């Protein structure tokens, strides 16, 4: 891994996001299907979450913006 790649924060997997939010993996898939929950993107056939976006989504729950 070169120096630039080492400085990039990794994206979270469904497992990582589930652990951070304390919700079952099945809930994340259901939220995605319903168009709810934190923003998620497909990378190939894998779902990936940007940690900054997940944390911002979580903080917005208090304000009712999510």
Question: pLDDT tens digit string along 40-62?
Answer: 999 999 999 999 999 999 999 98
Yes or no: say if 57 and 39 are a contact pair by the CB < 8 Å rule.
yes
Give 4's pLDDT tier (boundaries 50, 70, 90).
low
Using the predicted structure, report yes or no on whether residue 33 has a pLDDT greater than 60: yes
Q: What is the pTM of this model?
A: 0.81
Of 63 and 11, more confident: 11
pLDDT at residue number 1: 57
Instruction: Report helix angle 25-34 to 14-21, nearest 10.
Output: 100
């Amino acid at each position: 891994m070169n120096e630039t790649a080492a400085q990039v924060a990794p994206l979270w997997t469904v497992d990582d996001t589930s652990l951070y939010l304390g919700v079952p993996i099945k809930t994340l898939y259901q939220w995605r299907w319903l168009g709810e929950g934190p923003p998620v993107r497909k990378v190939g056939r894998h779902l990936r979450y940007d940690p900054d976006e997940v944390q911002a989504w979580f903080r917005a729950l208090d304000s009712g913006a999510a």
